[in-house]
Chains A and B, each alone.
Chain A
């Protein structure tokens, strides 16, 4: 983000909002506006709070800005107006703040984006070794534990090109978890996978949610949303249309646009 693109910021670190159970908000996004370079207004004043331990599923038609919105949470996309703070750290001008945010936010991409020239184990240990500066032994031990947790410990010495799509995505999840982030972002993690592999990845994500990880997922998997999500959010045309529990959202959508969207996917 260049100097001119930075928003004017006013989030203080001590004033993080809390939800009814007293959980702190990990992500506080207020009135976020973003324009692309060609002038297209992609985010039109979106506000969202994500609390600790919550699983939020963001749904919506393509082009609604949902991927762009969650990519602002780890500064992969700059924004022009509004404010975003992760774990109290504001995302704005300061490069140090951005680097601190990126250490606490893990992201899983639709195209996996594994590093093809490194083995699976090296993919997972790279960031802890170089960013958190852990010693080699500790990094490898935690990496192997994570690979076991996602179910591919035996593939540790293989290269990403030798794995199937589902296996690669699970490696990607393990790689993000290795940094022990406070919140995990999932940008359509199963959209590029075959149906059999979708299940194994969703199982990993379900286990992750049950272990208490704060997650924001952009996905079209309605089954996953109904089972795992604490909250479902619908975005359309750069605006946050509706926000509700899965039961209320899927059975009793309030807004017209929600009803139109649901009639298409259900």
Chain B
């Protein structure tokens, strides 16, 4: 406490060092133990006590009844016998190793990403993480559902942890790793598609994408590292880049066909056999990844001053939003082939993904536009006064802040999209819900609908909650102005 001294001649005394909280008279924070809390809040009066007891009995009855039912009366055979079909539809069982490889790739990339994102953390495997992993492993071993596949699941968990640790090391050594991981996910998407589809490697879409990526990389590196003094620098850069891209691409394209014995591949599995959780995830991920940039473009287009762009964006958004998703999916199945050249018949799954994407993009555009409107005018003024043009202002200043504001709405739309995959049963795709309903038609499982639907409800819930939790973590990381 300082001396309030009025006389002008006294030099002020320095403030004494701070006292302990008790001496300072800090507010006493008392933390009640559970018993004391219970006494204070639940049993403090006769009415509250009776209400507490009644509610506890009801809740207890419900919970215990459910648990008893789950462990004794329920016929889980529908789930355990058909686990493969819940997970991957009508996929031939002899090709299940491909599904497991897909899972392995996903866990590998997830582990790498986790390690890269947490590269500054001192100890990645701290107690909560270890407990979580241990619990999952225990579940896998104990549950009769997963017992046959325990080995595969443990290998996946091992991949996750191993790659996470590797990712930390890589992240600390190579600063570019964070950008390259997106490229990794991009390539693994096509690797997963190839594993599902099969066919010759050299004719696959995965190889096409890899060719393009490699050619671009080679061209880029060539233009950066080699210089021809005789020509002006811009000409060498463009020329070397183009040369690198074209030559690498041609070599990679023709080489497998000229060297004999490079026609290996795996058996083709038709898309009509894809189904279950695998198909649901494929549709949802494709839809989410594609609709996000389209939504951003539409939102910016709607706010643009150019009349054609704005007119088109408004027309798109209002038309698509005014129609139910099912009708868009039906129209997609019929109309999309009409827009493409004669003879091409895009796969049913492609048409479904296009329909989902177009639908979600319209809603996303409005969510992002809400975020754009929340950016104060001063931000664009500051950016313009620094000399940034409209494009740079939007890309560097406005969009990052707008998307951060719109994250709750955007993630809500993604969760909706995930659950809208169930509607695709109407256009003939065997996603998880339709698969379940098909299984319940047979005589042996016809009464077990509660078990089956509870099971897939749990799966849907896990994925939707994972998205929700992920978005909370992203928001916490981005909340730079509230630290």
Contacts and interface: CB of A to CB of B under 8 A. Distances in A.
Nearest to B379: A113
Contacts of B401: 115-117
A30 interface: no
A99 B480 contact: no
A127 interface: yes
A161 B382 contact: no
A131 interface: yes
A127 B381 contact: no
A111 B386 contact: no
Given A130-B396, A161-B480, A109 B382 contact: yes
Interface stretch (B31-39, B280-288, B387-395): B387-395
A213 interface: no
B478 interface: yes
Contacts of B384: 74-76, 102
A160 B481 contact: yes
Contacts of B314: none
A241 to B, nearest CB: 27
B389 A115 contact: no
Nearest to B404: A117
Contact of B385 (A102, A115, A159): A102
A226 interface: no
Nearest to A76: B381
Interface in A55-111: 74-76, 99, 102-103, 105-107, 109, 111
Contact of A117 (B378, B381, B389, B400): B400
B146 to A, nearest CB: 43
B387 A102 contact: yes
Interface string A152-187: 000000011110000000001001100100000000
Contact of A116 (B386, B392, B396, B481): B481
B378 A103 contact: no
Nearest to A130: B392
A160 B396 CA distance: 16
Contacts, number: 70
Given A127-B387, A130-B388, A113 B483 contact: no
Interface in B100-114: none
Contacts of B397: 115
Interface string B48-62: 000000000000000
Nearest to B478: A117
B4 interface: no
Given A115-B397, A117-B404, A131 B388 contact: yes
B340 interface: no
A126 interface: yes
A103 B482 contact: no
B385 A99 contact: no
A75 B385 CA distance: 8
A109 B381 contact: yes
A161 B482 CA distance: 6
B480 A105 contact: no
B483 A162 contact: yes
A113 B401 CA distance: 13
Contacts of A131: 386-388, 392
B387 A99 contact: yes
B404 A105 contact: no
Contacts of B381: 76, 109, 113
A126 B478 CA distance: 19
Contacts of B483: 159, 161-162
Contacts of B383: 115
A109 to B, nearest CB: 6
Nearest to B397: A115
Nearest to B378: A113
Interface in A109-136: 109, 111, 113-117, 126-127, 130-131
Given A113-B378, A113-B381, A117-B401, A179 B387 contact: yes
28 contacts: A75-B384, A76-B381, A76-B384, A99-B387, A99-B389, A102-B384, A102-B387, A103-B387, A106-B386, A109-B378, A109-B381, A113-B378, A113-B382, A114-B382, A115-B382, A115-B383, A115-B401, A116-B481, A117-B478, A126-B386, A127-B386, A127-B387, A131-B386, A131-B387, A131-B388, A159-B480, A161-B481, A161-B483
Given A74-B385, A179-B387, 11 more contacts: A99-B389, A102-B384, A109-B378, A115-B397, A117-B400, A117-B478, A126-B386, A127-B387, A131-B392, A159-B480, A162-B483
The list of the 10 closest CB pairs from A to B, nearest first, reads A161-B481, A113-B382, A127-B386, A107-B385, A113-B378, A103-B387, A159-B480, A116-B481, A131-B387, A102-B387
